[in-house]
Chains A and B, each alone.
Chain A
């Protein structure tokens, strides 16, 4: 562009020089003037082109700036995204996040029921101090608790537990600031303990039956030992597979078997008795029949004797003597039946 313009300027200068030269020689040349005009026009064209060029350059610069700005923005966005991604990756995946979003509606009644259920394991019964001196102010900062180690708290539970009891809660003064005031308050019960109003140690359980009763917010070892898990372990120790094994069901089954066995024994006994009874009756019947037969025979013998004395000697024996016992026998059997009944 510069060269082009330079060429135009050179041409204008040359044409002008030629024109001036011709004018100084007093021979003005029209051609030289035309050349100057022509060169000047070309120069103007060139200048216009330069203007366009300059404008374009300005536009290009502006566009470059815009591009740079956009590039920077893109980079920023990408880096922000990258940071975000890193943060997201760094966050520990919570498995239960969908569950948290789930709503579990509950009624006031259910809430109260739950509160009642847990209260016996979260709130000590009145009078239980767990060795904490209730007459002093409650610890105001967690640091205070941290400062007293396990041994320290144990020592206070042994040494300073005397001030407990139901009356302690009422005197628990609201002392917001630890320090001087705290030490003052802690001295007060020790003074009162030495006073006349303090009960002797041997009378304290009479006032507060739960004087030294501990309170735990977790199941005690004894409770764990007597629970379902212990039963489970006991079954394993006895070599029984606990799966699908129900001790109650087992007990019922054993009882049922026992009952069945008893029933069977009872039935067998009844059957035996029945059989005995039948045999006895049979024997009695047979004995009666034998007796009857014997009696009949005796009667028959007696009748024959009497008939023989009535009948003529020629008619003795034969048919009538055989017919008579039949008739008697029949009657006797009737009699016999009635007796049995």
Chain B
């Protein structure tokens, strides 16, 4: 992705409108802002992707941090219902608000730990209720 500095204004807008059949949203490369931001916020659930963003110094960019703050509208209705990877995506969005985590995720060890622990938890969370 682009590594040039972004404009601060990119995060100062309101959340995009919820998709509607009749709406005539402007499209960016064939996709609405809603679709792009939904995809991005879900991609953030992938620790390797976040690690990649950290390695490109995105997480130290104040504009990007402001954008992460702006993306928190996905944790509220009516946007919440469109997220299909709720477990990891919402937790990562919460963690990314913390400056310490934004620095720590640069470490491959932490990234690997998040992936493996996530995989373990994905299998174990429903076993606990069984046993």
Contact = CB atoms under 8 A, between A and B. Distances in A.
A224 B122 contact: no
A129 B122 CA distance: 9
Contacts of A131: 119-120
A236 interface: yes
Given A228-B35, A236-B2, A219 B42 contact: yes
B27 A216 contact: no
- Interface size class of chain B, counting residues whose CB lies under 8 Å from the partner chain: 35 or more
A179 interface: no
B28 A130 contact: no
Contacts of A96: 72, 76
A249 B124 CA distance: 46
B46 A114 contact: no
Nearest to B28: A242
B120 A232 contact: no
A303 interface: no
Contacts of A215: 119, 122-123
Interface stretch (B6-14, B56-64, B77-85, B98-106): B77-85
Interface in A172-229: 172-175, 214-221, 224, 227-229
Q: Which 6 pairs from chain A and chain B are nearest by CB? A: A218-B45, A150-B113, A242-B29, A104-B77, A130-B119, A218-B88
30 contacts: A96-B72, A118-B84, A121-B86, A124-B122, A130-B119, A132-B123, A149-B113, A169-B127, A215-B119, A216-B119, A217-B118, A217-B121, A218-B88, A219-B43, A219-B45, A219-B46, A220-B46, A221-B49, A224-B46, A227-B43, A228-B30, A228-B35, A229-B39, A231-B30, A232-B28, A232-B29, A232-B31, A233-B2, A242-B29, A244-B26
